[in-house]
Amino acid sequence: MEKVNNEIYNTYGDRWYTAQDDPVALLRAESKTKSPWILEKLKKHGLLDSSTQVLDVGCGAGFLSNELALHHLNVTGVDLSEDSIRVAQKFDSTKSVKYLAADAYNLPFADQSFDVLTAMDFLEHVDQPAKAIQEFSRVLKPGGIFIFHTFNRNFLAYLVIIKLVEWLVKNTPKNMHVLELFIKPSELAQYCKQADLQTQEMIGIKPQFSTIPLKNVWTGVVPLSLRFELTRSLLLSYMGYAIKTKPA
């Protein structure tokens, strides 16, 4: 199996927030759809509160961590990339997020420390997602919520998420994603079950093709107008959440 290229996240610097000719622009555009969905689920479960302890694993440059902090949540963001952590801190307008470098397989927190754990665009970057999810469950309180986003593993996902991005976005690095590391929804639900996490919901996310001007398609640049939307189809990209079961 080809090795996924996670070293690229040490090279972006401020481009995390400024580049349009790079796949990080897709992440920024997606986050405008993901974050409201996440906030809605937190509100539904009574967790949109300043006392809520959130751990954002694989936080990157802080797109989600910094957004949650704007809603007065108590947020900790962890990532292996120290450069990404530096950028996340720089762009945290609240200056309230606690950022640190940490290994998702061995989180430096006590059992049952967090009400919410998020892992967005993370699980497809590790060789042992089930092991990571076991560790996530360890640091979640009973009744706590695990929120995720990742990619389905099939030929269409290979064409759209890997090859189409390579063809249409100028600075896409080789092996930014590797198909073998994509995760079928049924597999992810099973990993959660093995970690005492009960899956509640999964929903797809896809680009609104009407927001991509035809003149932009072959420029290698992600248009500022690009928007994403939710869909019932989990065929490509999907989010979801699970709740840690309480002891009998």
Q: What whole-number percentage of the chain has pLDDT above 90? A: 89
Q: How far is CA 120 from CA 57, 74, 210, 247, in A?
A: 8, 18, 25, 27
Q: What is the pLDDT of residue 248?
A: 60
Residue 226 has pLDDT above 70, yes or no: yes
Q: What is the pLDDT of residue 217?
A: 76
3-state secondary structure 7-63: HHHHCCCCHHHHCCCCCHHHHHHHHHHHHHHHHHHHHHCCCCCCCCEEEEECCCCCH
The label of the residue with tokens 């401020």 reads: 14
The pLDDT tens digits of the residues spanning 140-168 come to: 999 999 999 999 999 999 999 999 999 98
The domain segmentation of the chain, as residue ranges, is 7-244
The pLDDT tens digits of the residues spanning 8-51 come to: 999 999 999 999 999 999 999 999 999 999 999 999 999 999 99
User: What DSSP string runs through 108-156?
Assistant: SS-TT-EEEEEEES-GGG-S-HHHHHHHHHHHEEEEEEEEEEEE--SHH
Enclosing H/E stretch for 228:
strand 228-231
The pLDDT tens digits of the residues spanning 70-114 come to: 999 999 999 999 999 999 999 999 999 999 999 999 999 999 999
The CA distance from 46 to 193, in Å, is: 23
Residue 246 has pLDDT above 80, yes or no: no
Residue 216 has pLDDT above 80, yes or no: no
Q: What is the pLDDT of residue 247?
A: 75
CATH 3.40.50.150 fits 7-244, yes or no: yes
